Structure 1
Amino acid sequence: MGRVLPLLALRAFAETGRHASIKRAAEAMGVTSGAVSQQVRLLEERLGVSLFSRTRYGVELTEAGAKAHPTILSAFDQLEKGLEALEASNATASVTVCTVPSFAASWLVPRLGRFTSRHPDIEVRVEASATLTDLRRERVDVSIRHGLGDYPGLETIHLMAPELIPVASPTLLTDGPAIRTPADCLSYPLLQDSARADWRLWLKALGTEDDPRIERGPSFDDDFLLVRAAVAGQGIALVRDIYAREEIADGRLAVALDRPWPSEFAYYVVTLPAAIERPAIAHFVAWLIEEAQAPQLPAASA
C-alpha cells in the first residue's frame, strides 16, 4: 500500500500489449511512438524484466509480460468506466449515434421525433459519416453498421435486412419500353453504386446472363444520392427498399419491376459490451429495434 505507481508507463504497457503495436498504442494514447517506447523501457528498467519482444509484424508480450498484462489492462479499463460514470452522474442523459449519411437521412432522422416524444429527457446526437467508427476511441455510444455482423469484441444486434429494388421516375418508365423481366432494365440508363456491383449481382441472382450494358451509367457512393438521381429521371436505380419508401408513397418514384432481392448484408446496432447497461442507451437501442420491426408506421409521425 502507498506505492507510487508509474501510471503513464503502465498505460503504455497496457495499450502496447492490447494492440501488439507501439504505433497503435501511441494513437490510442494521443502521444508519439517515441514516448510510448520510452515509457515501456523505463518500466522494464524499473522491474528488471523484458516485457516485449519485437517481431516482423510488431511486438509481442514476453512470458513475464503476458502474465501481468490482463490484470493491468483490466485495471485501466475499469478506471475508464469509472471516469465515464463520474461524467455521466453530472451530465444530461445523452446518446451519440453514428451511421452512414444515407441511413441517417432516409431512416433514422425522420423517426427521431417518436423517440424524443417518448424520452424527452434523453438528448440524441446523430453523427453521419461513411468512416467506420472506433467505439473504443471515439465518443460514440451506438453505431449502426451495414455489413455481415462480424464485429469482434462488440455487442451486435441485428436490426434489419433491406431488399434491393429497382426504382425510377414514373415519367421515365411511362415514356420508355415496358419492363417485364429483369433483363428489360438494361434498355434504360442504369444508376450504379460506387462499386458497380449491385446491378450485376441482382441480375445474376434473377437469371440474367452477363451483359456489357450492366456497366453503363454514372455511379454514386451513397444510396441517398442514387434515389435523388432516380427521382430526377436520370435512369433506374437499384436501392435498398428503406431508402425509397417515401418517394414511392408520394409518387416521385415507382418500382420498375417487383422482384426484390435480399442481399447477405444487413444493418446492425453495435455498442461496447457494457454500454447497453446505461439506461439511455438501453432505451435508444430498444426503440431502434421497435422501429425496425414496425416499418409500416409513417416515418415522420411523432
Structure 2
Amino acid sequence: MPASENTSENAPGPTSELTSPGPRTSALTLAASLERYLRYVSIERGLATNTVLAYRRDLGVYLAHLAESGVTRPGDVAASDVSAFARALSTRGDVPLTAASVSRMLSSVRSFHRYLVGEGQVEADVASDTTPPKLPSRLPKAITVEQMAAVLASTEGDAPQQLRDRALLELLYATGARISEAVALNVDDVIDNDVVRLFGKGGKQRIVPLGSYARTAIDEYLVRVRPLLSSRGAATPALFLGLRGQRVSRQNAWLIIKAAAERSQLGIPISPHTFRHSFATHLLAGGADVRVVQELLGHSSVATTQIYTLVTADTLRDMYTTAHPRAREA
C-alpha cells in the first residue's frame, strides 16, 4: 500500500492541531492575566467602571515595577517581589503617596493575587502576608441642618438651570445617593413621585423615599425644565439633563455643588459626599435606627454605617459641653 494511503501515517499525531492543547492558563503573561482579571471584576463581580479603571491604574504600576525586575509571568512572582513593591510605594521620593493611596494600591495587588490562585494560574498567594499601612480613623464630614438649608436655598430662582440644580441637590440630600447614582438616574426611576430607585455598587438596587421638598423640586423640574432641555439634544431617558440636552455628568454635578456652596458663603468646602454624610448624620440625630440608615445608604455592612453614630455622639458631646452649667471646670 502506498505511503499516501497509509491511514496510520496520515492520522493526526500528538502534536497535530486537532489534538494539541490550547495555551495553558499558567503560561499567560502578567499583562494577559491582568486583562482577564479586569474582565472578571467588571462582568462577573459587576464592579463600577470607575472602580475597574482604578484597578487598572494601580495594577499597571505594579506590573511595571515587576517588569523592571524581569518578572513577567504570574508564576514568577515571589513574596519578596510584593514586599519590594510595598516598600517602593512607601519610600518613593518623586511624588510621595499618602497612606490611603498606598493602602488602596496594595489592596488591588492582594485582590489580583487571590484571583490568580482562584483561577489556578499559581499555586500560592504570594501577597497574602502583605499588610497595608494602618489608616487613621476619619469621621465623615457633615454640615449642620442650617448650613444644608443655606446651600439648598442658594439654588432658588425660576431660571431653568436653577430649577434643575435645586432638584438635583434636594434629591441628594433627601436620599443620601452617591453622586454617580444620582446622575445615572432615568426618569422612570422616580416612582409615583414618592420614591426613587437607586443602583449602587455592583448594580445593587435599593428604593429610597423622597421627602416633600425633593418631590416638589423634582416635579417642578420635570414639568417646567426637562422638556425644554430634552428638545436641545438627542432623546435620552436621563433624569437630569445638561443645557445641551445630554445627561449631566459627574463632573458637571460637582460644579453645580461647588457653585451652590460658593453662593451660600459658608466658608467651608462642600462636596457631593457632604450631602450623603449629612443625610446619614441628620437621620441618626433625629432618632433613626442605624439598620434603617444602612439600608437607605446601600451599605453592605452595618459597621460602615455605625461610623456615623460616632459623628452624632461627638455632636451631642459638644452641645452638652456648651450648654450644661457643670460640664466644664469653673
Higher relative contact order (CA 8 A, sep 6+): 1
TM-score of the two chains, using structure 1 as the length reference: 0.28
Mark the structure with the bigger radius of gyration.
2
TM-score of the two chains, using structure 2 as the length reference: 0.27
